[in-house]
Structure 1
Amino acid sequence: MKLLDLGDVRLHYRVDGPDDGAPVVFANSLGTDLRLWDPIMPHLPEGLRLIRFDKRGHGLSTCPPSPYSMGALVTDTEALLDHLGVKDCVFVGLSIGGMIAQGLAVKRLDMIRAMVLSNTAAKIGTPEIWQDRIAGVQSGGIESLADAVMERWFSKGFRATPELELWRNMLTRQEDQGYMGCSAAISGTDFYATTASLRLPTLGIAGAEDGSTPPDLVRETIDLIPGSQFHVIRKAGHLPCVEQPEEYADILTRFLREVGHV
């Protein structure tokens, strides 16, 4: 476990694989930490430099007071990758992590050679929806939202398994301020115009039963980028890397090979 001090926040990060491996960076969703990617790690090719981190207010990173801006989240990520000397990575972002990917690609194309936009969009929800979510956390904590979040995150089949409790616990043990802060960042983000300006290899991944970012919403964003690919994973919700890790890893590995990263 490593911590990078950026002044107003200290980011927890983890690097697996050789220092000279082709870098793949993973950014996780609202309400999860870097363990979100654990299920796919054993299925990825050897020799990659796999970089994961907890965004501000999540996991083992510190939690500044909310609200946060998307610009701050992008800048945090940029500073971490600069610290690690990362150039020409493939950036895999899920949900808010995919928004960070879009923002960073526009800002630092030298840093990202290809990206995977998983269960995300250029704009997610409306300010009213996010304000209601923030108000719910203010009044009752994340616990008050947890059951509804589980319905959006996971397919009906997965919600009937004991493993659901692991992810519910991960959600409810995040900091309220971190959840509210990142909710505010999503609320204020509309990347349609900037994402449409991008020209880099892009893979979109959606879960067929995603209640947060349905496949049509994901596809609308992926279609903004010429030459992009799109894949729907069946029997999966908002976190297909959890429900269908082997298929997710296979799709990602195929893309890494196509762009010459493996």
Structure 2
Amino acid sequence: MNRDERARRAYEGLMGVQAEKAFADVRAVSPQMYETVLEGAFGGPLARSELSRRERELASAAIVASLGGADRRLASHVRGALHQGVAPHELLALAEHVAVYAGFPRALNALDVVNEVLQEAGAPGQPALHRVQLADHETVVAQKGDHGPAVILSHSLGVDWRMWEPVMERLSQGRRVFAYDFRGHGGAAGAPRPFTMDDLARDMGGVLDAFDIDRAHVVGLSMGGGIAQTFAVRSPERIESLALLATTDQAFAAFEGRARSGEEDGMEAQIVPTLTRWFTAPALATNGWGVQYARELIRRFDPADWAAAWRAFKDVDVEGKLAGLQAPTLVLVGEEDYSTTPEVMSGVAERIPGSTYQVLPGTPHMQTLERPDLVADALDRFLPADR
């Protein structure tokens, strides 16, 4: 492979389009400039593997945005970043980052360019973010949709509301969808400790109260499912329906060990055991956005919040207490979930008479991050909507 071929291959790999098409105007005006740009940059340093293609496109977008005055080229690198799997909210965060180091005028200009490219690509808009004051701490609530039945989403231990982002656009069609950070997580990190499952259930009610919602369709995954069940036991009159994903109604013996490991071994030591419980081997190998997101949040987690959450979860006390729940209930399990297995989840379903039990093929514990399509399909069928 000669330098020209290597340059073309590198450009297409980075940007997702052919160099001849992208630089047609440059080539028509100056074949020498075309050759200089293509072979000098893309046949040289940009073809090397020391930085991943994803890292190179993020770096290129940040540099061009900081320089200013090159909106067309910035747009091409934003498209390239999307081609490399960079999420829309990461590109918006990049514009914020530029504001710190290159000033607000260039950052705001970059934000305009990013927004134009996202609209061109048909990317869904970002949820509205609300800061909500609860009884003893503040949290963040993300909202999609402004009409229809209210749906509240409670995430897994160790992440935050963005765990739900891959399904929120679909669920918000004809619904008001609220995803919030529960105690010790995301915008509610550092909330008073220790806390209990009853505290977490009260917080869920507090989020609903903040939006004047009396009754809601409650959806929870993993520890979020434990919170959802606890809320349903405490306040059944507020439950329109209940969807339990990859969860349990009784504690596992391992919960206290995970709490102690966070305190004694630190958060780096939690990454391998957690991610291998949460994702399939192919997902870990391809290392897409969901895996990267989960890894980064675990790495950044406060060990004290981590331990407090596991100790709250180990006292979950809802087994058999939803037998009289009148609301429709969906129990959703991943076929390849080796944490809350189909055996565990079928037991949960059996203890809630009339519930619907569904197995998602090829799906691990972290359902929304690896198979959001299947989760969105199942929830969209289950939850009522104003169409």
Q: Distance in 1 between matches of 2:184 and 2:285?
A: 29
Report how far residue 223 of structure 1 moved. 1.4
Equivalences for 1:128-139 in 2 at 5 Å? 129-139=254-264
Q: Give the match for residue 146 of structure 1.
A: 271
Corresponding letter in the other structure for 1:176: P
Partner of 2:143, secondary structure, is strand
Corresponding letter in the other structure for 2:264: S
Structure 2, gaps ≥5 residues long: 1-128
Partner of 2:153, secondary structure, is strand
Q: Give the match for residue 227 of structure 1.
A: 354
Structure 1, gaps ≥5 residues long: none
Q: In the alignment, is residue 115 of structure 1 matched against residue 242 of structure 2? A: yes
Write out per-residue CA displacement over residues 214-238 of structure 1, whole angstroms, 9 at most, x where no aligned residue: 1110110111111111111122211
Corresponding letter in the other structure for 1:206: V
Q: Give the match for residue 10 of structure 1.
A: 138
Q: Distance in 1 between matches of 2:298 and 2:311?
A: 17
CA gap of 1:66–1:130, structure 2 versus 1, over 3 A, is: farther
Percent identity at matched positions?
31
Q: Distance in 1 between matches of 2:366 and 2:374?
A: 12
How many corresponding residue pairs? 257
1:104 to 231, 234, 237: 231
Q: Give the match for residue 114 of structure 2.
A: none
Write out per-residue CA displacement over residues 112-138 of structure 1, whole angstroms, 9 at most, x where no aligned residue: 110100001111312xx2221111111
Partner of 1:12, secondary structure, is strand
> Are the counterparts in 2 of residues 74 and 104 from structure 1 also a CA contact under 8 Å?
yes
Structure number having the greater strand percentage: 1
Task: Provide the aligned C-alpha RMSD in A.
Answer: 1.7
Write out per-residue CA displacement over residues 194-213 of structure 1, whole angstroms, 9 at most, x where no aligned residue: 12332321001111121221
Q: In the alignment, is residue 192 of structure 1 matched against residue 319 of structure 2? A: yes
Corresponding letter in the other structure for 1:2: H
1:46 to 168, 173, 178: 173
Q: In the alignment, is residue 67 of structure 1 matched against residue 211 of structure 2? A: no
Q: Distance in 1 between matches of 2:143 and 2:204?
A: 14
> Are the counterparts in 2 of residues 59 and 174 from structure 1 also a CA contact under 8 Å?
no
Corresponding letter in the other structure for 1:39: P
Report how far residue 8 of structure 1 moved. 2.4
More deviation, 149-158/191-200? 191-200
Structure number having the greater helix percentage: 2
Write out per-residue CA displacement over residues 33-74 of structure 1, whole angstroms, 9 at most, x where no aligned residue: 000011112333522101010001101114135432111111
TM-score, with structure 1 as normaliser: 0.92
